[in-house]
Amino acid sequence: MNKRNLGHWAILMSVIVVIVGVVSWMHVIDANDKKQVAISNQHHAEKTKDAITRYALKSQQDRENKVTQYDRKNLGEKNPIFAAKLTKDLRAKKFVGSAIVVKNNHVVYQRAFGWANVKKQHKNKVTSQFLINSVQKSLTGALVMQAVEKGQIKLSDHLSKYYHIKHSSHVTIRQMLNMEGGISGKLLPGTVLTEPAVYKYASQQAIIKKKQINHFHYQPISYVLLAGILHKVTHQSYYQAFYQDIVTPLDLNHTGFNQIRKITPHMTLGYGGMEPGQYKEPHAPLKMTTAVQVATGNVIMSTGDAFQAERAVIQGTTLDNPAGAQVLHEVGQTRHYTGGLYHLENIGYYSHGMGDDYESTVAMSKDGKTGVIFLSNNFVKKAMFPRWSTEQLAIQTFKDINEVKAVK
């Protein structure tokens, strides 16, 4: 090999060494970046969890912590025909979870099915807690109405008063509550966000389409922005307000947030699979997903607590003036969705949520005294909806008991 060829080989080897060095250096940088993101995620998650834990402990100290009919199993001995049929229908759906039926403020059926945690051999109980997903929005609606009542905000306020989003001057808080603000936007951050960061992120992701304003368009981001507005005007954490203004006064002893699921005594684990009862793919929601779902899908509840909370929302008992609930839900008007609840014909309201292997359905009468609630920890929308969904069963069960004087 001549000197000229040797020179070429030397240059080539030098280039290869440099490239290998750069690639190795980039891998080191990438690894360090990932490490820093992981550290940041853990820090933000712990910060929020610690705050929620403080609010939960304060609420526990302030509550009466009474055991009521909503905390006890009720197999329907006083209404055996109804109970037998509902149990048969739920088993036909291979239902895994907890179900409650209330008629005129009296529990006529409350029963749990399947496992809360197979590995730990914990069965579901009537006090088991489930992720309620979108059912949470009605509770957020009640918090918004409390702020309206205190004069901190107005339903006629425009979104532009609080967030500078293109076309936000055309959208009111009322429209946001009714999902008619034309707002859309994906909530998929790559990291765990703190509560204030969630609101900033949501305002950056939000897109308003003027043609969709005044038309129903369901998008969770609307309620995250509503929580952000509450944060601005109350100078209070959503989590703190939730415990202070909903959990404590209603004495809800089986309610919390997904961030503290590990220290929640009766928390369930979600399961996947192709149909309920297989208990495949045990799954806990990701921390970054939980963090970004402020006000729209990170509350955990038992069926009994969910009934009491929804009753309070409809009756307005969390407000100084209960009539505010009629304003929130535009009672007497033909509406599709108001304040976090769908209008169920002219007989009541309903709400439905799916996500992270949980399904929740709530159907309530107009006076809040009668209702059906099914909460499941073994449901995957992609694989199980609609065949194994209990949404329509809950609604039909509600219609059946709502139209009779007594359940038999």
Tell me the DSSP string of 78-111: TSHHHHHHHHHHHHHTT--EEEEEEETTEEEEEE
Tell me whether residue 122 is in a domain. yes
Tell me whether residue 85 is in a domain. yes
- Give CA–CA dist 59/246, Å, rounded: 10
- Give CA–CA dist 136/299, Å, rounded: 6
Tell me whether residue 45 is in a domain. no
Closest CA to 210 of 161, 156, 159: 159
Tell me, what's the pLDDT at 15?
A: 65
Query: Strand (E) positions, 216-328?
Result: 255-257, 270-272, 280-283, 299-301
Tell me whether residue 294 is in a domain. yes
- Number of domains forming the structure of the chain: 1
Tell me whether residue 253 is in a domain. yes
Tell me whether residue 364 is in a domain. yes
Closest CA to 77 of 90, 89, 87: 87
111 within 8 A of 72, measured Cβ to Cβ: no
Range of the domain at 152: 69-402
Tell me, what's the pLDDT at 44?
A: 87
- Residues with Cβ < 8 Å from 206, sequence gap 6 or more? 163, 165, 183, 184, 185, 221, 225
| Residues in the chain with pLDDT values less than 70 | 1-10, 12, 15, 17-18, 20-41
Tell me whether residue 368 is in a domain. yes
249 within 8 A of 318, measured Cβ to Cβ: yes
- Give CA–CA dist 239/274, Å, rounded: 35
* 281 phi and psi angles, rounded to 5 deg: 50, 60
Tell me, what's the pLDDT at 3?
A: 57
CATH number at residue 382: 3.40.710.10
Tokens 């998650």, residue located: 45
